[in-house]
């Protein structure tokens, strides 16, 4: 680790930090903003490595996660080259795991050096803008996808932001303006989750809420007060939006009918995803060890099957585990499960070693990691790389960052800045 945390900020580090925060805030607006921020990060990193201010042997990630990530990258490279489809497909496919793991690295580097206070504020500000944007689209258009123009992406976004919104509510007490704003953020997050009209996201959101409350264990009085305020605000906003756009209620009714069809028609309950899952699994059986490489799923389906009967050519398998299996075989699937499991375990371990706001932060991170593992049964954070994937890897980077296993020292919001080797 970098030893001195109090020295003056160098201009290369300024570019790394500024680029990271820029990418974090503007991630929902598309990949161009993220890459623009990463350009500054890469420039700063190049200078710092060139001047030995950072070294390859410096540890930024907890040891198990660092080794797992290295294995996943090397195996992904091997399987993609083994199933080579041209440099365009190679670059587009292999960039998916590469971007994910760069996100973990840069987040772990920033929070281990600067803490998480600024990260949390930018996160909440960005999510508030997205929630407001979503409500405007519900009022003015038939598209309920908000800035993403896709309800599945909106649902995944709301799933990833909910634990952090709950964190703000857990940290804000009293009766002041900040307390009501924190409850408003939770209510807006819940409504955004509802407006995704994604059954999978709804179920995962319920799981997240229960998981976070079990980990944080708030007082019953505080919990009831926060829930009452957030519920009233959410009910008022939902009523206003439902009156303004009658399609809100019809969409909600459709999802309820889908939920009730669980015992009748699996294809209907999963919105035909079960058909895609079976086709994906059949593809994986053809190359169970190496997989087909990180090729775009629709390109793979076109080349290997042409079309899936009753579906056509899907954009993604709508299952993270089947995606890993078909892309890199059993080794990639096993490594991917290990990555998420160790990340959640690391966050839980850090949570138990902390108290107060630090404990709540790690509870939110652990909850998000567990939620994405559950959501992986109906979607994939890898497939969501364009607009929301980086946000998850940022939170994962907090769990993966070295430090935070003991009492926080010199922190800004919760990550230990103590040196480790």
Q: Assign 9 a pLDDT band (cuts: 50, 70, 90).
A: low
pLDDT at 409 over 60: no
b/e sequence 145-158, b meaning 16+ C-beta within 10 Å = bbbbebbbbbbbbb
Query: Among 49-63, 187-201, 292-306, 365-379, which stretch is predicted with the lowest mean pLDDT?
Result: 49-63
Q: How confident is the model at residue 298, as a pLDDT?
A: 84
Cα 295 to Cα 273: distance, rounded to the nearest angstrom? 20
- Residue 275 makes CB contacts below 8 A (sequence gap 6+) with 267, 308, 309, 310, 311
235, 183 contact by CB (below 8 A)? no
Q: Assign 414 a pLDDT band (cuts: 50, 70, 90).
A: very low
Q: How confident is the model at residue 47, as a pLDDT?
A: 87
The secondary structure element, H or E, covering residue 263 is none
Q: How confident is the model at residue 248, as a pLDDT?
A: 63
pLDDT at 152 over 90: no
DSSP state of 309: T
pLDDT, average across residues 47-59: 71
Percent of the chain with pLDDT over 90: 43
Instruction: Write the pLDDT tens digit of every residue in 384-399.
Output: 888 899 999 999 999 9
Instruction: Write the pLDDT tens digit of every residue in 195-220.
Output: 888 888 888 999 999 999 999 887 66
- Residue 210 makes CB contacts below 8 A (sequence gap 6+) with none
Long-range contacts of 308-312 (CB under 8 A, 24+ apart): 308/275, 308/276, 308/279, 309/275, 310/272, 310/275, 311/272, 311/275, 311/276, 311/279
Cα 396 to Cα 340: distance, rounded to the nearest angstrom? 9
pLDDT, average across residues 135-143: 76
pLDDT, average across residues 239-255: 64
Cα 184 to Cα 181: distance, rounded to the nearest angstrom? 5
User: What pTM was estimated for this model as a whole?
Assistant: 0.86
* Both tokens assigned to 105: 């690295």
Cα 314 to Cα 181: distance, rounded to the nearest angstrom? 40
Helix or strand or coil: residue 176?
Answer: coil
Q: How confident is the model at residue 292, as a pLDDT?
A: 92
Query: Among 3-12, 14-23, 99-108, 339-348, which stretch is predicted with the lowest mean pLDDT?
Result: 3-12
If one compares 194 and 18, the residue with the highest pLDDT of the two is 18
Q: How confident is the model at residue 5, as a pLDDT?
A: 43
Q: How confident is the model at residue 169, as a pLDDT?
A: 86
105, 60 contact by CB (below 8 A)? yes
Cα 91 to Cα 263: distance, rounded to the nearest angstrom? 43
């Amino acid at each position: 680790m970098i030893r001195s945390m109090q020295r003056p900020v160098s201009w290369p580090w300024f570019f790394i930090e500024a680029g990271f925060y820029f990418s974090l805030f503007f991630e929902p607006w598309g990949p161009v903003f993220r890459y623009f921020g990463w350009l500054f990060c890469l420039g700063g990193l190049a200078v710092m490595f060139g001047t030995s201010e950072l070294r390859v042997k410096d540890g930024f990630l907890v040891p198990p996660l660092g080794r797992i990530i290295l294995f996943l990258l090397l195996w992904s490279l091997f399987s993609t080259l083994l199933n080579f489809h041209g440099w365009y497909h190679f670059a587009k496919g292999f960039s998916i795991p590469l971007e994910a793991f760069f996100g973990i690295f840069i987040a772990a580097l920033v929070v281990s050096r600067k803490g998480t206070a600024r990260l949390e504020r930018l996160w909440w500000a960005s999510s508030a803008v997205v929630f407001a944007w979503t409500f405007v689209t519900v009022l003015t258009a038939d598209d309920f996808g908000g800035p993403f123009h896709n309800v599945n992406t909106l649902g995944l976004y709301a799933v990833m932001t909910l634990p952090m919104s709950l964190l703000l509510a857990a940290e804000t007490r009293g009766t002041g303006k900040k307390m009501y704003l924190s409850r408003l953020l939770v209510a807006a997050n819940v409504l955004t989750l509802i407006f995704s009209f994604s059954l999978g996201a709804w179920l995962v959101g319920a799981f997240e809420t229960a998981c976070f409350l079990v980990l944080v264990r708030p007082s019953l009085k505080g919990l009831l007060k926060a829930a009452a305020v957030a519920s009233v605000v959410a009910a008022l906003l939902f009523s206003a939006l439902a009156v303004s756009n009658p399609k809100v209620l019809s969409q909600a009714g459709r999802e309820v009918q889908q939920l009730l069809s669980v015992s009748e028609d699996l294809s209907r309950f999963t919105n035909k995803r079960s058909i895609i899952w079976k086709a994906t699994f059949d593809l994986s059986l053809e190359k169970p060890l190496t997989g087909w490489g990180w090729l775009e799923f629709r390109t793979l389906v076109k080349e290997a099957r042409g079309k899936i009967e009753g579906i056509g050519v899907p954009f993604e398998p709508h299952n993270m585990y089947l995606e890993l299996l078909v892309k890199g075989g059993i080794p990639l699937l096993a490594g991917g499960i290990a990555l998420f499991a160790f990340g959640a375990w690391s966050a839980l371990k850090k949570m138990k070693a902390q108290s107060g706001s630090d404990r709540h932060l790690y509870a939110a991170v652990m909850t998000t990691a567990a939620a994405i593992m559950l959501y992986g049964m109906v979607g994939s954070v890898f497939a969501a790389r364009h607009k929301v994937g980086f946000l998850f890897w940022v939170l994962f980077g907090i769990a993966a960052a070295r430090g935070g296993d003991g009492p926080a020292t010199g922190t800004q919001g919760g990550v230990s800045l103590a040196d480790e080797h």
